[in-house]
Structure 1
Amino acid sequence: MNDNYKGFLLALLMVSATAHGATTAEGDADTGSTPPGEEEAPWLDTGHAYVVQRADNIARWMDNFFGVNRVEEEAPYSTLRLRLEHEWDEIDDHESDIKLRGKVYLPKLNKRLSLLFSDDDDGIETNDLIDKQDSPDDVALQYTAREKERYRIDFKVGLRSSLHPKASVRYRYEYPMTESLIGRFSEEVLYRGDDGFGSRTRLELDKILSDNKVLQWYNRVDWEEEESGIQWRTGLSLNRRLSDKRALGYFIGASGETSPYHLTENYGFGMRYRQNIYRPWLFIEVQPRYAWRKSYENPDREGAANILLRLEAVFTRDFGD
């Protein structure tokens, strides 16, 4: 992440926090976040219930604990994540990075408005075989146009790190197919000044196996105006809650693109272990992985071991109090 841009993000976050009367940041040892108190607005009650009141749902607990971006973007409270990462790869050697991701909920301006940092999710799932260290650093305003029990519509407008404008509209629908199976679909249409129009389609299924175990299947298809064909990825993960402060997951996955050739770029497997340490807001994570990779430049598929080490600070606040 560019140092000047990172400083801009931190300064912007501090200004937002001051403007909304921030007090001491607190975390939750069980989930890695402390949801705020109840609000009077019906739509806000619905959103808060969606994220918080279903905490007994192991799928929701897993998403919160592992820091799934979607959950934070839809929550009516503010979150800041600072990640220190070091990755070793058998082919690409070592690489380190500092990542800042956050959301400032802005109820004093509008209860449907939030400010997002690095919101441009570049296809990085929490258990991807290849964690992209050079993910873009963006700033955007998010406006929740409509929110019901099962669906939600959001508009975003902002700037990319290249200072090109961006805008998008996203529809998300979630449906409990059975008591132990949850389906989730989302479609986002976007425009980015340097890349043109594009779309992101997601389909996810969460199968609750027990009070402490969930099987998750995710699928994603991306299309961009400047690129021929589409990019796709799919994965299956088995996550287990070991305690209120520890979780373990196993995953397999694959990714590729359809043009100019039908190419499966990566497939492989891995595991991840995450634990809350010392303070409610501090986490460590280890992800050993093995993937077989192929590209147009290197048509011979190569197998490579990879390990990602992560230290993460998570601060969750209600700036609306």
Structure 2
Amino acid sequence: MVVLALPAQAQDSQQPLQDQPWLDDLQDNVTDSINATALWFDHFFADESLQMDEKARGEARIRLGWEPRSRAVNEFETRFRVRVKLPNMKHQTDLIFSDYDEDEDASSIKAARNDAIDNRNRFSMALRWTAKKSADLNVSHRIGVGRKLQPYVKSQVRKTFGLSDINNVNLEASVYYYTQDRFGSHLMAQYEHQLAGNDLFRFDNHFYFRDEENDWIWQHGWYKYSQWDDKTAMIYGLYVEGNSRPNYRVEEYLVSTRWRKNALRKWLFFEVEPFMLWRRDEDFKVSYGLALRVEGYFGHSG
């Protein structure tokens, strides 16, 4: 089950531009800018002797959030990710600009994310190409700059095993090298079980190795996804994180319930997520919070 999948095309109004509300003007202007950027980049790799059937295109995701909690009211967050498809290059190639790494975004709550993972990935620009892709196997490579403009390379393999009609196991392994942070790796094992109706249970396991610190960060999460209709979903979660040094111990617990709604426009999403957080650096005293977010998707997804 896909919870609130993105629309195949973000535009949802056929009215003339001058007659559209300001939300539609915003959607059109941002989408046009992204696609113009995609065409500009793709032009550098064009071969005049070849006629390409596919045009370059781009898409963007922008999220604004306020996540106040006990002892930390001013928890604001902005995130963006722009992906540009370049058909004139060989293989399936994307150019990605972002201030976060989706592969290392295990928790939706900013206060619960590990600073060693989250803060160092505030901006990156990478060229990603797919070496092999099928229904159950994806192999990709990246080269770019990130973590305070460090040049890096990264390779990733993702494999899906369909155990039955209602059970899947997803495995992922990646290895990377940054010029200052040196080698690192990420291992992921995910189990999915389709429940009755439109409900899904998912068990996540993540392990990150950092060469610079010579330790492992581990994360486990249990989630239940409930799709109420084609515009509304609930996500119930329990999240645990810890380190391997100085010993294998828990650093934090998080319990949350996320309500997600597609409203006003096909490309606009709203989230409300009450949560409780226990952190070791706060002596595991419970912190109550409420996350409020709005997300916009621009361009063409898929």
Asked if residue 90 in structure 1 is aligned to residue 76 in structure 2, the reply is no
Q: CA deviation at 1:261?
A: 2.8
Q: What RMSD over aligned residues (CA atoms) do the two structures have, in Å?
A: 2.9
Gapped runs of 5+ residues in structure 2?
A: 1-30, 43-51
Q: Is the 8 A contact 2:35 2:57 kept in 1?
A: no
CA offset digits 1:162-196 (Å, max 9, x no partner): 11101110011001111100110000000112211
Matching residue of 2:162? 176
2:123 is the counterpart of 1:137? yes
Alpha-carbon spacing, 1:97–1:82, altered in 2? closer, same or farther (3 Å): same
Separation of aligned partners in 2, 1:14 and 1:131: 35
Percent identity for Structure 1 against Structure 2: 24
Q: Is 1:125 aligned to 2:98, yes or no?
A: no
Residue in 2 aligned with 1:185? 171
Q: Deviations over 1:117-169 (max 9, x none)?
A: 22634732254584547452111110101113321110001111511101110
Q: Give yes or no for contact 1:129–1:269 (8 Å, CA) kept in 2.
A: no
Could you tell me how far apart the structure 2 residues matched to 1:187 and 1:267 are? Answer: 25
Deviates more, 1:109-118 or 1:236-245: 109-118
What is the DSSP-based 3-state SS (H/G/I as helix, E as strand, rest coil) of the residue aligned with 1:243?
Answer: coil
Residue in structure 2 matched with residue 312 of structure 1 by the alignment: 295
- 38, 60, 75: which one aligns with 1:17: 38
1:268 pairs with 243, 254, 257, which one? 254
Partners in 2 of 1:163 and 1:11 — Cα distance?
28
| 1:107 aligned partner, one-letter code | P
Match in the other structure for 2:219: 233
Match of 1:286 among 254, 259, 272: 272
Point out the more displaced range, 128-137 or 157-166: 128-137
CA distance in 1, matches of 2:271, 2:83: 22
CA contact (8 A) 1:129 1:268 kept: no
Alignment of structure 1 residues 8-47 onto 2, 5 Å: 13=34, 15-19=36-40
| 182-191 vs 261-270, greater mean Cα deviation | 261-270
Are the equivalent residues in 2 in contact too, given 1:156–1:169 (CA < 8 A)?
A: yes
- Matched residues in 1 for 2:137 and 2:267: separation? 30
Match of 1:252, SS? strand
Partner of 1:104 in structure 2?
84
Counterparts in 2 of 1:173-252, with a 5 A limit? 173-252=159-238
Contact 1:129–1:270, Cα closer than 8 Å, also in 2: no
Q: Which residue of 1 aligns with 2:22?
A: none
CA 1:18–1:112 in structure 2 vs 1: closer, same or farther (change >3 Å)? closer
- Worse overlay, 301-310 or 269-278: 301-310
Question: Alpha carbons of 1:129 and 1:266: their partners in 2 closer, same or farther (altered >3 Å)?
Answer: farther
User: Closer, same or farther in 2 for the Cα pair 1:20/1:301, shift >3 Å?
Assistant: closer
SS at 2:37 equivalent: helix
1: distance between equivalents of 2:130 and 2:103?
21
The residue that corresponds to 1:54 in the other structure is none
For 2:190, the aligned partner's letter is E
What is the rounded CA distance, in whole Å, between the counterparts of 1:206 and 1:128 in structure 2? 22
Give SS of 2:140's match.
Answer: strand
1:258 is aligned to 2:244: yes
* TM-score in terms of structure 2 length: 0.77
Structure 1 contact 254–264 (Cα < 8 Å) conserved: yes
Give the C-alpha shift of residue 312 in structure 1: 0.7
Query: What does 1:162-173 correspond to in 2, within 5 Å?
Result: 162-173=148-159
* TM-superposition CA deviations, 1:21-60 (whole Å, max 9, x none): 9xxxxxxxxxxxxxxxxx999xxxxxxxxxxxxxxxxxxx
1:122 and 1:136 in contact (8 A); partners too: no
Distance 1:318 1:277 in 2: 18
Residue 301 of structure 1: which of 279, 284, 292 is its match?
A: 284
Alpha-carbon separation, structure 1, partners of 2:77 and 2:135: 38
Structure 1 residue 109, shift from structure 2 partner:
2.6
- Which consecutive unaligned segments of at least 5 residues does structure 1 have? 1-9, 22-38, 42-75
